[in-house]
Amino acid sequence: MDYGLRFSDPASYARTLRRAHELVISGVPRPEISARLADSWRRSMALGISPDQHSPRHLHDVSEVLELRREHRLQRVMPALHDLLADDSRSGRHLLVLTDAGGEVLWRVGSPAVLRRADTLEFSEGADWSEAGIGTNAISEALVTGGPVQLFSAEHLVRTHHEWACTAAPITDPATGQVLGVLDVSGPLDTLSADTLRMVRCAVRVAQALLGTSDDGTSLGASPSVRASRQPAAPVVRPAAAVDSLELLGEKPAAVFADGSRAPLTLRRAEILALLDSRSQGWSAEELAYELHGDAGTPQAIRTEVFRVRAMLGGAVESNPYRLADGLAGRSDAGRVLRLLREGRVGEALENYPAPLLSRSGTLAVQLLRDQLDMAVGSAVRASRDPVLLVRWLSSDMGAADYLAVEELGKLVGRSDPRYLTFRASMG
């Protein structure tokens, strides 16, 4: 296939890639889709990303992203990247994006029209464009490969991205080689040129040269007092007793206070609290960084996030190691389900289990906790030998694939019973 067609005849090249996309998704290899991309698609789908998925997961609200920017080392190089690559004029057609080391969008610059188009894909501040967040794209590939990447049309896993061409490269710390973030230039297919990749590479080199003269965005000659003045202010904490419980089941995690008010939690904060809720002995910052970010995680990022959690929830989180305060430990809705199971109150546990644990999270550690909770409830329901509970469990999203529960129902009500036949048929 003529690679140059992506520049000379982008519409024709895109049609060819779309046909190849459908075949590869169905298990038929095609030379248009490299083995590296096909592997990334498989990893993404194993993480729960569908080619028909539209929304990436969102880790922070836009207001919170503004705080993250102020503390991020790439804040210092963003003006230079803006001058080199951005086009936010009324006629501008491409989008400049800068993410953190995990693929979360921190900055984006473009014309009003391009920003509106990006909004339809939720390509916005706080969105996670890693493989786990939205599947294979240029940002995720730059993080996986550690080098510059260009993805065109149906080289993206998700179909709604097939009208876009994206070029991305990681920005690393010149002293340590650690990835600090990813620079990405995206736009409609016909905005891609043979020079796009070269320009992104050049911009990355400029950014890394600027970083080489700084220490976390502070001049090497600055005094300790100047550096200290740039640290986050101490949080305004709530009383320890203010937080009554945590809602971690479903898509809208929240903290519930003693007065009945609720405070929504971002996905990342909810993931941290879910991990804290799962282990009474607590976690070190290093352990949480690895569980949430893998090898790319840093203890400092966790400390910053826990700083914000404590500012929001006060004494609910204790340090050294990080753990939930005694008054809050075990008081999440997920913890309530487990407690009811331990007390043998299976029916009540099932009533209190309306949705999976943090259903939007693709983090492996959270997925394992989610699976453990499913297994605990499913095992208890099967052991109850109660047809009513079995039907309720099999009718839920969490129990819909529990083949053993279907077989147990068949033993109890008979294999000619309509309830058994209905659930047995749904198993395929």
The reported pLDDT for the residue numbered 101 is 94
Kindly report, residue by residue over 285-326, the tens digit of the pLDDT.
889 988 988 877 777 778 878 877 887 887 788 888 899 988
Q: Which residue has the higher pLDDT, 4 or 397?
A: 397
Residue that is written with structure tokens 């198993």 in the block: 427
The reported pLDDT for the residue numbered 308 is 79
Q: Given a cut of 60, is residue 214 above it in pLDDT?
A: no
Mean pLDDT computed over 62-70: 89
Of the listed ranges 30-34, 314-318, 390-394, the one predicted with least confidence? 314-318
The reported pLDDT for the residue numbered 29 is 92
Residue that is written with structure tokens 């279907």 in the block: 406
The answer to whether 161 and 197 are in contact (CB under 8 A) is: no
The reported pLDDT for the residue numbered 377 is 95
Mean pLDDT estimate for the chain: 87
Most confident of 1-5, 273-277, 295-299: 273-277
d(CA 342, CA 338): 6
Kindly report, residue by residue over 122-181, the tens digit of the pLDDT.
999 999 999 999 999 999 999 999 999 999 999 999 999 999 999 999 999 998 899 999
Most confident of 189-198, 230-239, 241-250, 368-377: 368-377
Q: Which residue has the higher pLDDT, 346 or 213?
A: 346
Residue 181 half-sphere exposure, CB side, CA atoms within 13 Å?
A: 25
The reported pLDDT for the residue numbered 2 is 56
Q: How confident is the model at residue 87 (pLDDT cuts 50, 70, 90)?
A: confident
CB atoms closer than 10 angstroms to residue 39: 12
Q: Given a cut of 50, is residue 100 above it in pLDDT?
A: yes
Q: What is the CATH code of the structural domain delimited by 5-218?
A: 3.30.450.40
Q: How confident is the model at residue 20 (pLDDT cuts 50, 70, 90)?
A: very high
Q: How confident is the model at residue 1 (pLDDT cuts 50, 70, 90)?
A: low
Mean pLDDT computed over 178-203: 92
Q: Given a cut of 50, is residue 41 above it in pLDDT?
A: yes
Q: Given a cut of 90, is residue 341 above it in pLDDT?
A: yes
Q: Given a cut of 70, is residue 4 above it in pLDDT?
A: no
Q: How confident is the model at residue 17 (pLDDT cuts 50, 70, 90)?
A: very high
**Helix/strand/coil (H/E/C) assignment for every residue in the chain:** CCCCHHHHCHHHHHHHHHHHHHHHHCCCCCCCCCHHHHHHHHHHHHCCCCCCCCCCCECCCHHHHHHHHHHCHHHHCHHHHHHHHCCCCCCCCCEEEEEECCCEEEEEECCHHHHHHHHHCCCCCCEECCHHHHCCCHHHHHHHHCCCEEEEHHHCCCHHHCCEEEEEEEEECCCCCCEEEEEEEEEEHHHCCCCHHHHHHHHHHHHHHHHCCEECCEECCCCHHHHHHCCCCCCCCCCHHHEEEEECECCCCEEEECCCCEEECCHHHHHHHHHHHHCCCCECHHHHHHHHHHHHCCHHHHHHHHHHHHHHHHHHEECCCEEECCCCCCCEHHHHHHHHHHCCCHHHHHHCCCCCECCCCCCHHHHHHHHHHHHHHHHHHHHHCCHHHHHHHHCCCCCCCCHHHHHHHHHHHCCCCHHHHHHHHHCC
Kindly report, residue by residue over 220-265, the tens digit of the pLDDT.
333 333 333 333 333 334 444 478 899 999 999 999 988 888 889 9
Q: How confident is the model at residue 3 (pLDDT cuts 50, 70, 90)?
A: low
- What lies within 8 Å, CB to CB, of 393 at 6+ separation is 350, 377, 378, 381, 399, 402, 405
Q: Given a cut of 70, is residue 219 above it in pLDDT?
A: no
Q: Given a cut of 80, is residue 191 above it in pLDDT?
A: yes
Kindly state the percentage of the chain with pLDDT values over 70: 92
Q: How confident is the model at residue 273 (pLDDT cuts 50, 70, 90)?
A: very high
